[in-house]
Amino acid sequence: MKLVLLGPPGVGKGTLAVALKDQLGLNHISTGDILRAEMKANTPLGLEARKYVDGGELVPDELVTRLIESRISTPEIYSKGYLLDGFPRTQKQAEDLNEILNKLDQSIDRVICLDASIEIIIERLTGRRLCKNCGELYHVKNKPPQKEGVCDKCANSLYQRADDNEETIKTRMEVYTTSTRPIITYYEKQGKLKKVNADTEASVVLETTLSFLNE
Ligand code: AP5
């Protein structure tokens, strides 16, 4: 199965992706995670990406599309199926993805579009914490670690993403509205998109998504 996860920043795409990956045995491909790993390692790509990511702007289409193409062209990835989290994010990326998939004789089966109120989104983003080592996701209220600031899984320290501050969140929301929201219509026209209310608990979001995938 090949899936795309759409939705505004902080709505819970990463949380749902991890749950779906575990349930369905898919590869989880997150452009945000890939870019942050490159930034952490100070690679040329990471240094370029930092110019955009920390301020909440989108990294140029060509750069992220190349990252995705190299992954989804790999037999180990496409044979098992995958879940694209955070890509495509512009009309150009959606069209380029379509072209790449056509060349590979593949297609996207379903697109899940999460949505939640702005109040919930801000609360989720400002309270999010991640493990420095394994990337495990936490939330100060919704999913706190057993010991404050420490990862339950690997005991390393937690951190807050540089783009999870109110000013950058505002920019990310504006970028979502102008650049990403229009591709909802693109996938609706293809009859592949399902809108899922993410204002509820993560387990309910997962259940709703799984029943759609089983339709
Ligand atoms: P990216 O990492 O993709 O960020 P994003 O889209 O802003 O989404 P987030 O990761 O912030 O949130 P999420 O929806 O995954 O929520 P999460 O599950 O973590 O991208 C970052 C940047 O990289 C972009 O701004 C851009 O610069 C660049 N980039 C990436 N892709 C690109 C592309 N294709 N083109 C160009 N540039 C690109 O949840 C958030 C919090 O809420 C967590 O703490 C979680 O525990 C909690 N939570 C989640 N769901 C629930 C729930 N149902 N109930 C209660 N709490 C919940």
Asked if the structure places residue 13 within a domain, the reply is yes
Contact at 8 Å (CB) between 131 and 158? yes
CATH code, 21? 3.40.50.300
Question: What is the reported pLDDT for 19?
Answer: 96
Residue 199, pLDDT above cutoff 90: yes
Asked if the structure places residue 123 within a domain, the reply is no
112/136 same-domain check: no
214 Cα to the center of ligand 1, angstroms:
25
Cis peptide before 88 (omega within 30 of 0): yes
Question: What is the reported pLDDT for 215?
Answer: 84
pTM over 0.85: yes
Asked if the structure places residue 59 within a domain, the reply is yes
Would you say the CB of residue 8 lies under 6 angstroms from ligand 1? no
Contact at 8 Å (CB) between 10 and 118? no
- The domain of 150 spans 128-163
Residues labelled as active-site residues:
13, 89, 128, 161, 172
Which structure tokens are listed for 128?
């999010």
SS3 151: coil
Residue 1, pLDDT above cutoff 90: yes
Residue 105, pLDDT above cutoff 90: yes
CA angle, residues 173, 177, 181, in degrees to nearest 5: 125
Asked if the structure places residue 14 within a domain, the reply is yes
Would you say the CB of residue 58 lies under 6 angstroms from ligand 1? yes
Would you say the CB of residue 15 lies under 6 angstroms from ligand 1? yes
How far is Cα 89 from Cα 85, in angstroms, rounded to an integer? Answer: 10
> Taking Cα atoms as reference points, which of 151, 155, 122, 123 lies closest to residue 138?
151
pLDDT tens-digit map of 129-178: 999 999 999 999 999 999 999 999 999 999 999 999 989 999 999 999 99
Considering its fold, how many domains does the chain have in total? 2
27/133 same-domain check: no
pLDDT tens-digit map of 19-63: 999 999 999 999 999 999 999 999 999 999 999 999 999 999 999
Question: What is the reported pLDDT for 52?
Answer: 97
Q: What residue type is 199 in one-letter code?
A: D
110/192 same-domain check: yes
142/209 same-domain check: no
13 Cα to the center of ligand 1, angstroms:
6
How far is Cα 107 from Cα 174, in angstroms, rounded to an integer? Answer: 29
53 Cα to the center of ligand 1, angstroms:
12
How does the average pLDDT of the chain come out, rounded?
A: 95
